[in-house]
Each structure stands twice: as C-alpha cells, then as structure tokens.
Structure 1
C-alpha cells in the first residue's frame, strides 16, 4: 500500500513542474518563430520528467550517462531550454518571458534543493538581484543587432563573462555569510 505524500511535500514538485512546463512551452514557441507542435510536445514531456527538484547528496554513484542524466536532469533541462530557444528567433517579448521563466525555475530549484538555506537566499537580496542583473545583461546582449559586425562575438562573450562574474560574486558573498 502506498502512503500518499503530504501537500507540503507535493507543493515544491507541483510548483517546479508548472514553471518547467511554462518554460518548455516558451522555449519551444509552438506557432511562433517556426516552432512546431511536435517539438513543443517533446519539450513538455521533458519538463514533466525533469521539472521536480533533485535534492540528493553531491556524490557520483555512477559514471554511466543514464544515471548522471537522471541525477543532473534539472541542469540538463535548463540547458536544453536555452538551446531550444537559441535555435529559433523569438520575438523580444517571448525572449524576455523565457529569460524570466528560466531564472524563476533555476531559483526555485536551487532554493528547494538546498532546504532552509536555499529559502534564506531569497530573503538575502544579493543572490536574486545578481541573478536578475546577470539575466538582464545576457538578454540585452542577445537582443543587440550585431549581425555582420566584427566585434559582435566579443560583445556576446563579454556579456557571458560579466554574468558569470556577477553570479560568482553573489555565490561568494553567500558562502561568506554561512
């Protein structure tokens, strides 16, 4: 006989799955910018599987691809959504929505996986502010019309390095507070 989970245990799963499905639909963009319904259906199935938080100890149990994929499915899902959105040319409003949903998903997964320490990071404004700033920087760089310019890749690389530096400073500050 299976014991049903309490609503408090199911809430993070339902919430992260809902955000993951919305992110997958936004990244697949069915009907917009060439997105197909088949790709959107695959993205939603992937979101349903990978959406719940994986909160396990950071110990590698196997070096095989399948167990590592299952263990790191939240990261693989987020990277897959970024790649899916990147191969299309979404309108600016949709790129902003996908960016906000990706950031929300990553913050939720991080907070729920870390437990009380992860929830405390939402109260300390440095980590969410750094995440929003880094996302805005990358989104702004992605929307710049740099096609054909010789320094376009340098601007994109600078945006990625800048966002990584901002995220690293926020995490370094968080580690110093603990």
Structure 2
C-alpha cells in the first residue's frame, strides 16, 4: 500500500485469547503500512510486570489496568492497528470509545479453536490444563458484545495472512 492510498487511521482488533489478534494484527499493520500496538505488551511495559504478575491482584484489578491501557491508545496518533484485551467486552464504555475512535474488528473463533490455539496457556492468566471450560464461559459472556462492532471475521481454519488481506481490502474500501 502506498502512502497516497487511503487507509484507516486506527484499527482495533478485539476477540478472546487465541483469536489471532497479534498474528493478524502484525500482518494487517504491514499491509496497511502502519505500526502494530499490542495492548498486553504495552501494559506489561508500563507496569514493568508480566500479565501473570498483574493478575495476582485479581481479575477486576487486571481488567481495570487493561481498560486504562486501552484508553492510553486514544492519545496515540494513527495510523495504527492495535490488539486489545478481551476484557473490553465487559465495559460498554470502552467498546463505545473504540467505535468512536476508529474501526473495530472482532476476530471470532469457536471455543474449541481457541483452546487448541492457546495450548497450555503459557503467559495467560487463569488458564488451567484444560482451557476449554473457561474459554466457553468467556465466549458465552463476550461474543454478543464483540458482535456489535464494525466487522466480524471468523478465524476458524483460516490463515492469519489470508484474514489480514481480507481485512485490509475491506478497511481501505471504506475510506
């Protein structure tokens, strides 16, 4: 994509852990010629602690930190693609702010696919040896909120490069 072609200023990728926010986000940012920002990485850098360490304060405390980090993204000038923590689905105001600030894409995958992708859940708080029950619960609680965004893309059985190319074409066509 050349600098003269239209491109979205801000793209926020949402979805549950394992949906592909990082892999699709990196590929999409490359296609759009912009930077990729990972909300989790930025939060760990800002807090100087891993998500696992931050999670020891409890789910609510971690989700509040994730919300603050999301809001910090609004101060960054675009263009960029950002992978956002799944907990934003629990906060209608965070979802509304993202929709107002840019394009929001829900990378949707079934709980079975998510469980396969997260494996043992290394570096992901609260995942047990069998992540499927937690992922099913999270999917049931958050899918409806995530479906209210600009684009919903099913990622089951799809390559991240293919998804990124599809999204780039859709997003550029909207500009």
TM-score of the superposition, structure 2-length normalised?
A: 0.29
Structure number with bigger Rg: 1
- Structure with the higher fraction of residues in strand conformation: 2
Q: TM-score scaled to structure 1, two decimals?
A: 0.29
Q: Which has the higher contact order (CA 8 A, sep 6+)?
A: 2
More helix by share: 1
